[in-house]
Structure 1
Amino acid sequence: MTKLPPGFTHEASQHVQLYPELDRITGVPVIELDDFCCGAHGFAALIETQVDDQESHLTLFDTGPDSQSLVRNIAAMKIPVEKIECVMTSHWHRDHTGGLLSFLKLRKSTPSNPCIVDVHPDRPYARGIAPGPAYDKVLCALPPDPTFELIEKAGGVLEKHSEGHAIAGGTVWVSGEIPRVTSFETGILGGMRWLDGPESGKWTKEQHIMDERYAAIDIAGKGLVIFSACSHAGIVNVVKDAIVMFQRPIYMVIGGLHLAGPEFSPRIPPTVEFLSRSLRPAPTYILPMHCSGFQAKLALEAAFGEGCVPAGVGLKVEIIGDKKYDKELFAPVYQ
């Protein structure tokens, strides 16, 4: 119910259009709460892109943490699942790949063309978490990500990419490896990986999740919209890489910023400083979600005001480009 900027739509008002049947007695639509979306600790975003009057493209960026939430939300929002042509996974962590197989099975049940599944080729056998202060003893492991074989068995057309490339008819850019250039974004100190192969049988430290990728869309007259599902590389590193790649200003940042918890709290001030003061022009909107953390949201709201938008499941964002203003944009300059 929080006030949103123009172009942002809460789920409730969307349901009035999705479920327009009028109540027999009152004569108005009833918001059916059983059909509302479910939130879960993960990330998934449906991206629709269109250039002029050409056919639009639907891309699913990550699939959430479990086999139930995504397919339920697709049904709740009446998404034409058969039109989703590509699933792009940001990285191999189960809270981003958990709904992939159930989505593919749902899509396979509808008459449609095969769905591309765009993944990084370096899939670990397992990833674990070793809490501080020593960060050396694995407390637990995440459930395994879907294997390449299971993805294909579920109907996905597997494409493995470690380099940057375009999808969705050239409208969405998928990054390659994100360069680590900042001094304060040092990955996950307790990140661990189970070695599978000749040296299998032990955990090894994996501070940097190098298979992580972001997605970028260049909007005419506005700039880049960045989707960074977890920002293990650090959102500043992500933004800097996008600027080097496109030489365009950042219009909007969407996703998890991985600034939650005591391990990451020292990174909040320099992150907010860069995004709000060093980066020129600063992003118009920041949508911190998933692993961003409450303190990071407070700091971003203090710096960006209404430009820090409370976002979550069911939110719709519509961004319309304008080519006649595009020449006024310039490459950002940051310190």
Structure 2
Amino acid sequence: MASSLRRVDKLTITFLVDNNIEWMTKLPPGFTHELMQHVPHSKVDELTGVPTLDFDHFCCGAHGFAALIETSVGNEPPELTLFDTGPDTLSLPRNIRAMEVGPDRITRVITSHWHSDHTGGLLAFLRLRSPSSNSSPCIVDVHPDRPDARGIAPGPTFDKVACALPRDPTLVEIAEAGGTVEQHAEGHAVAGGTVWVSGEIPRVTEFEAGLRGGMRFKDGKWVHEPHIMDERYAAIDVAGRGLVLFSSCSHAGIVNVVKDAVTTFKRPVHMIVGGLHLAGPEFALRIPQTVDFLADRLRPSPTYILPMHCTGFQAKIALEKALGEGCVPAGVGHKVNIVGSRTDEEMLFAPVWT
């Protein structure tokens, strides 16, 4: 039940996979570039006497998404949850090493949906963990409706599959790699009650009509699957700030995601993180309506939107124009610290949209 979600005092996000690398653009308070995280640990150069950056040990970009979510309540030990794992066997392990993340400390992986740009690094991540019996088991939280295969049918007709995506890991492969599989179609709280994983997202927004070229291999043939109903979002409620929403690919539409979260929790949205799936000509007409909702119709509007992964260049420009510094150019290697305030709770307004 949504009532089981606990309010956290601190949330730290480390972006471990994203399409974008951004080292130099000005970021808001609480955001840290990867570059500055490496300087204190860099080897001092004998010639110049100053730290020298080792780019072989920096994060790399990849078409996908993965975020490490660290939640803290009071003096309790923090909970570490990995939301998605990127597209391949290389980028997530490299970036985990670059950001000095201890994989054994991560006790749960949430897969947002069965698309391999979000599950492709799962087995590689599980194999990074220590086989020692002293390490905590890693739960892998998935939607039960795993497809045999998914493909892409490009426009303008959207009826002929041009290519298939790499296969998602099977439940057997996940277990053999050391993961403990949990299948959830309904919303539920995890990580000591600090992270909410949604169920299927209601499609209530007219202009968010799914992915026209989405295809699924079923009963020996390709069939249309525009709505990708297995996709889920994650929500964290930060005291005195509001909801932080993670929507890796937003096949449901980010407006549908926000509406469901606001309806479920009756809390304002502090931050929206992830892929908004507005890239390419098929989705261009959705951009003005999406920006209008997020910037002008949702009240209070989000403090920050971090448009990542599949959002697209045009949508980022439109969001920056509407939200200014509230649109943050986040990327792989960035770290975000959100500190809550119990004393500011009474100042939060109940969210509404027009």
- Structures share fold, TM-score greater than 0.5: yes
User: Does residue 1:15 correspond to 2:38, yes or no?
Assistant: yes
Displacement of 1:312: 0.9
Are the counterparts in 2 of residues 178 and 212 from structure 1 also a CA contact under 8 Å? yes
Displacement of 1:21: 3.9
RMSD between aligned residues: 1.0
- Report Cα offsets for 1:231-284 as digits up to 9, x if no partner: 000000000000011100000000000000000000000000000000000000
**Aligned partner of 1:272 among 291, 302, 313:** 291
| One-letter amino acid matched to 2:126 | L
Matched with 1:112 is 135
Matched with 1:310 is 329
Matched with 1:38 is 60
Percent identity reads 69
Are the counterparts in 1 of residues 42 and 54 from structure 2 also a CA contact under 8 Å? no
2: CA distance, partners of 1:71 / 1:290:
18
Matched with 2:93 is 71
**TM-score, normalised to structure 1's length?**
0.97
Tell me, which stretches of 5 or more residues in structure 2 are unaligned?
1-23
1: CA distance, partners of 2:153 / 2:258:
28
Displacement of 1:28: 2.5
Are the counterparts in 2 of residues 45 and 60 from structure 1 also a CA contact under 8 Å? yes
Matched with 1:237 is 256
Tell me, which stretches of 5 or more residues in structure 1 are unaligned?
none
Are the counterparts in 2 of residues 37 and 72 from structure 1 also a CA contact under 8 Å? yes
**Aligned partner of 1:82 among 98, 104, 107:** 104
Are the counterparts in 2 of residues 243 and 331 from structure 1 also a CA contact under 8 Å? no
Matched with 1:49 is 71
Matched with 2:146 is 123
2: CA distance, partners of 1:161 / 1:138:
29
Matched with 1:249 is 268
The structure 1 segments of at least 4 consecutive aligned residues displaced by more than 4 Å after TM superposition are none
2: CA distance, partners of 1:49 / 1:212:
22
Displacement of 1:109: 4.2
**Aligned partner of 2:82 among 42, 55, 60:** 60
**Aligned partner of 1:92 among 103, 114, 123:** 114
Secondary structure of the residue that 1:311 maps to in structure 2?
coil
2: CA distance, partners of 1:48 / 1:15:
20
Matched with 2:12 is none
Displacement of 1:54: 1.0
Secondary structure of the residue that 2:343 maps to in structure 1?
helix
**Aligned partner of 2:230 among 184, 208, 211:** 211
2: CA distance, partners of 1:33 / 1:82:
25
Secondary structure of the residue that 1:292 maps to in structure 2?
coil
Count of residues paired in the alignment: 330
Are the counterparts in 1 of residues 212 and 226 from structure 2 also a CA contact under 8 Å? yes
Are the counterparts in 2 of residues 108 and 154 from structure 1 also a CA contact under 8 Å? no
2: CA distance, partners of 1:147 / 1:139:
23
Secondary structure of the residue that 1:275 maps to in structure 2?
helix
Displacement of 1:29: 2.0
